[in-house]
Chains A and B, each alone.
Chain A
Amino acid sequence: MATKLSAPFLVRHEFLLRRLHSLSGLVPVGAYMVVHLITNATIWSGAGTFQRAVNQIHSLGPVLPLVEWAFIFLPILFHGLYGIVIIRSGLPNNGSYSYFTNIRYTLQRASGLIAFLFIMWHVFHMHGWIHNSQWREFIEGIGGKFFPFNAATTATDAIQASFLIRAAYFVGVVACVFHLANGIWTMGITWGLWTTPEAQRKANCVAGSIGAVLLGIGLLAWAGFALRSSDSDAERALENKIIDARIEAGQITEGEAKHKRVPTEKKRSSADVGETVLGET
């Protein structure tokens, strides 16, 4: 069955692409998501602990964007975009055949689409997509809200900005977790790890348990930013103290810190407003 060379790239390499799509969902995308959710859940140990976790990631320094693109952004883009190709190739028929696995077939596609749109927006909302000061100025107000050296306070402010953003993060986390857990189960069939109905039933329990634990961690992380009430002035002061101490110790330079902390003119802007109002009354 020689494949004609005239066939489009996506058709000629369908087997390889589908298998890479399956693999990339677990490693690196799924694995990254697990680490990401666990890191975010550490917010409950306080702004200082969360800051330490973020600092550890950012200690990669100039290599960080390379790692981000090679192991996070490009795999997610591939998994998401090729996922759209896969969605377009099928035609859900849950109306006629309402079997549990068929419902999951459709949910896997729906959650994948939601997760992809959410992740694209989430990376824009927090990270701003690219590190460029002009671009960051341009998108100010809607994106690039996360400053890694003021991690807890900037992430909390960004997510608690409105009910809609809180809700978007909730839906996004749930969609991502379902997609990964169900994806682990289908992946095992695709690669031939569990073959018999009995094996697939057991694998389903394992995938379901992984999903349940991950949903717990994910929602804990979500609540840590979306619902947790905190003394933001004290947290911001603590974060700034850590930055100053690290500059003092020579771990980071002033220049580096300048890009990764809340810009001075905006520092404590929301807190300032609050204080003024209090002062007037």
Chain B
Amino acid sequence: MADTSSKPDHFEVRVLRQDGPQASSYWERHRVRYEPDMNVISVLQRIASQSQTVDGKEVSPVAWECNCLEEVCGACTMVVNGRVRQACTALVDRLMAEQESDIELQPMSKFPVQRDLVVERRRMFRGLEKSKAWVTVDTYGPMGAGPRISQTEQENNYPLSQCMSCGCCLEACPQYTKVELVQGDSESDDAFAERQDSTFDGEFVGAHAISQVMLFNGHPIAKNDANERLDSLMAPGGIQVCGNAQNCVAVCPKEIPLTTSIARAGRATTVRAITKFFG
């Protein structure tokens, strides 16, 4: 356990705030009383209850998102001390051991900020839509027992199924760059959503979706759509944009073998491209 006797009474937290979409961002310092076994979520709760900066200035509470508090939902993903991760499993004692100075919190930089640490991850879900990351079942009727899955297949697929769409792999990827569109004054919500989706489709889909393609293409029923998924990976913004920096696999909180998925998808699209070309 961390040695609490050497811990300070208080510590400072630097938060990169933003009042709304497209607003300019600014740093704000907060002082938080040290308690044992804090995580960044509890730090943010203290900051919200104080609503006061180190200078004693009254401010609105810092906004953030969270749900499960056990690293399975991905909602509280943010950049903690320069590295993307979930706030719920970012433990203050560990952070202090890693880095003596203050804790620094920033929103993810690859997605449009809605407010403070809350970002809009619509593009991620568009990526899953684009690559048909689901099992197509065209009936509600009973279909009987499913096909048997070998132990090896199961062991290959299970890790990929752990993806919680948190976006860490995309935040750390040098090939995944931010796309932020602004809704026009006369533009309807639907029209804006459509414009966003068609823009996202031309941009890099990222490691998470590529890995989901490999998951569903390995599923006995979902693999009926295997070629369509591979075609989506060969469309603009597909697997070819990957630059092999391999940051995705290094930052993935679920330790999903993303670079293995990428290389397997590379192999599958190679075969698919040759088959399509020669018929």
Are A105's CB and B264's CB within 8 A? no
Q: Which residues of A contact B265 (CB under 8 A)?
A: 192
Q: Which residues of B contact A197 (CB under 8 A)?
A: 257, 259-260
User: Is the interface on chain A under 10, 10 to 19, 20 to 34, or 35 or more residues?
Assistant: 35 or more
Interface residue? A163 (CB, 8 A): no
Residues in B lying within 8 Å of A, measured CB to CB: 82-83, 130, 172, 174-175, 177, 201-202, 228, 231-232, 234-247, 250-251, 257, 259-260, 262-270, 273
* 9 shortest interchain CB distances as A-B pairs: A192-B267, A105-B245, A18-B240, A195-B263, A101-B246, A192-B266, A1-B235, A186-B244, A15-B234
| Complexed CA–CA distance, A189 and B177 (Å) | 22
Are A11's CB and B236's CB within 8 A? yes
Q: Which residues of B contact A97 (CB under 8 A)?
A: 83, 172, 247, 250-251
Q: Nearest Cβ in chain A — how far from B46, in angstroms?
A: 26
Q: Nearest Cβ in chain B — how far from A19, in angstroms?
A: 7
| Complexed CA–CA distance, A186 and B250 (Å) | 17
Are B201's CB and A195's CB within 8 A? no
| Complexed CA–CA distance, A97 and B248 (Å) | 10
57-112 of chain A: CB within 8 A of chain B = 86, 89-93, 95-97, 99, 101-102, 104-106, 108
| Complexed CA–CA distance, A196 and B249 (Å) | 12
Are B245's CB and A91's CB within 8 A? no
Q: Which of A89, A99, A195, A196 contacts B247 (CB 8 A)?
A: A99
A191/B267 contact (C-beta < 8 A), A97-B251, A102-B247 known: yes
CB<8 Å pairs between A and B, sample of 24: A1-B130, A1-B235, A11-B202, A14-B236, A15-B239, A15-B273, A16-B273, A19-B273, A86-B243, A90-B175, A91-B174, A91-B177, A99-B245, A99-B247, A186-B243, A186-B244, A191-B270, A192-B266, A192-B268, A193-B267, A195-B267, A196-B257, A196-B260, A197-B257
Q: Nearest Cβ in chain B — how far from A90, in angstroms?
A: 5
Q: Which residues of A contact B238 (CB under 8 A)?
A: 14-15
By beta carbon, the residue of chain B nearest A101 is B246
Q: Which residues of A contact B172 (CB under 8 A)?
A: 93, 96-97
A189/B236 contact (C-beta < 8 A), A7-B202, A96-B83, A97-B83 known: no
Q: Nearest Cβ in chain B — how far from A88, in angstroms?
A: 10
Are A90's CB and B243's CB within 8 A? yes
A1/B201 contact (C-beta < 8 A), A89-B241, A190-B244 known: yes
| Complexed CA–CA distance, A104 and B247 (Å) | 11
Q: Which residues of A contact B241 (CB under 8 A)?
A: 14, 18, 89
Q: Which residues of B contact A15 (CB under 8 A)?
A: 234-236, 238-240, 269, 273
Interface residue? A194 (CB, 8 A): yes
Q: Which of B236, B263, B266 contacts A12 (CB 8 A)?
A: B236
By beta carbon, the residue of chain B nearest A182 is B244
Interface residue? A200 (CB, 8 A): yes
Q: Which of A12, A16, A91, A101 contacts B244 (CB 8 A)?
A: A101
By beta carbon, the residue of chain A nearest B241 is A89
Interface residue? A133 (CB, 8 A): no
Q: Which residues of A contact B273 (CB under 8 A)?
A: 15-16, 19
By beta carbon, the residue of chain A nearest B198 is A4
